[in-house]
Structure 1
Amino acid sequence: MDTDRIVGSAKEYAGRAEGAIGDMAGDAKTQASGKAREAAGTVQNLYGQAKDAVRDAADTATSYAKDAYENSGDTFRDGTQALSKKVQDNPLGALMVAGGIGFALALLMSRPARRPPPRWRYYS
């Protein structure tokens, strides 16, 4: 729990008490001061809550990243084993897929044939 939340809650309750005392005494200045202190405490409390939420989100993201990093080798190994099993089960299909991918890459990487520049015929 963030210290801003604790201090903000204390200010909020002190402002409520000051506002109540201003109401009972009929003093508008004390009442306004209490409302201002209560609003400041509420804002500080919300700021502390936001800081806590950001800290929790950062901790969660860090733990997810750490887990993903630690398990990345296992995931890669499992994917490689599954791919090699598919190739062993159907070698002709794997060869056709690899050939199709190679053909598509060759089409994408080749440049179109250069056309000769247009010949302009001038008629005199």
Structure 2
Amino acid sequence: MVDTDRITGAAREIGGKVQGAVGDLTGRHSDSVEGRLRETGGAAENLYGQAKDAVRHAADEAYDYAEDAYERGRRTVREGHERSAEWPHVSLVVAGLVGFGLGLLVNARRD
């Protein structure tokens, strides 16, 4: 989706170029200067619109990346749960080892 600042900026830039060229051809310095100012303003507005488009695109990509990471994590947790249900004795052994290790850390005597 193109930002409206890009469209209006490009239109003003073209209008400014035309006005500046007409001012140069007719010898009217004020039209030439006003055209150049309009052209510069249009170019700035166009760049602003491009920057907004770039930020919007980056935000969309970041959202998509976060959504994919969330789905991968959810799938991994679900698979881990299914495997622990298939082998409950392994889960009990791991929980026992973790508990034993924590007990050693808590009750360790320092010399």
User: TM > 0.5 between the two?
Assistant: yes
How many angstroms does 1:68 deviate by? 0.9
Partner of 2:65: 64
Give how far 1:74 is off: 2.5
The equivalent residue for 1:14 is: 15
Report the TM-score when normalising by structure 1: 0.63
1:70 positional shift = 1.3
Query: Offset of 1:71 from its aligned partner?
Result: 1.4
- CA deviation map 1:52-99 (0-9, x unaligned): 111111111111111111110233466786xxxxxx8xxxxxxxxx79
What letter corresponds to residue 57 of structure 1 in structure 2?
A
Taking every aligned residue pair, what percent have the same amino acid on both sides? Answer: 48
Alpha-carbon distance in 1 for matches of 2:54, 2:70 = 24
Residue aligning to 1:27: 28
Which residue of the partner structure matches residue 74 of structure 1?
75
Q: 2:24 is aligned with what amino acid?
A: D
For 2:12, the aligned partner's letter is K
Report the Cα distance in structure 1 between the residues aligned to 2:79 and 2:28, rounded to whole angstroms: 75
Q: Unaligned regions of 5+ residues in structure 1, if any?
A: 82-87, 89-97, 114-124
What is the Cα-based RMSD across aligned positions, in Å?
A: 3.4
Rounded to whole Å, the distance in 2 between the matches of 1:63 and 1:5 is: 25
Q: Distance in 1 between matches of 2:25 and 2:80?
A: 74
The one-letter code of the counterpart of 1:69 is Y
Partners in 1 of 2:70 and 2:27 — Cα distance?
Answer: 64
Aligned residues: 101
Q: Deviations over 1:8-33 (max 9, x none)?
A: 00000000000000110111111100
Larger Rg: 1
* More relative contact order, 1 or 2 (CA 8 Å, 6+ apart): 2
Q: Which has the higher helix share?
A: 2
The residue that corresponds to 1:39 in the other structure is 40
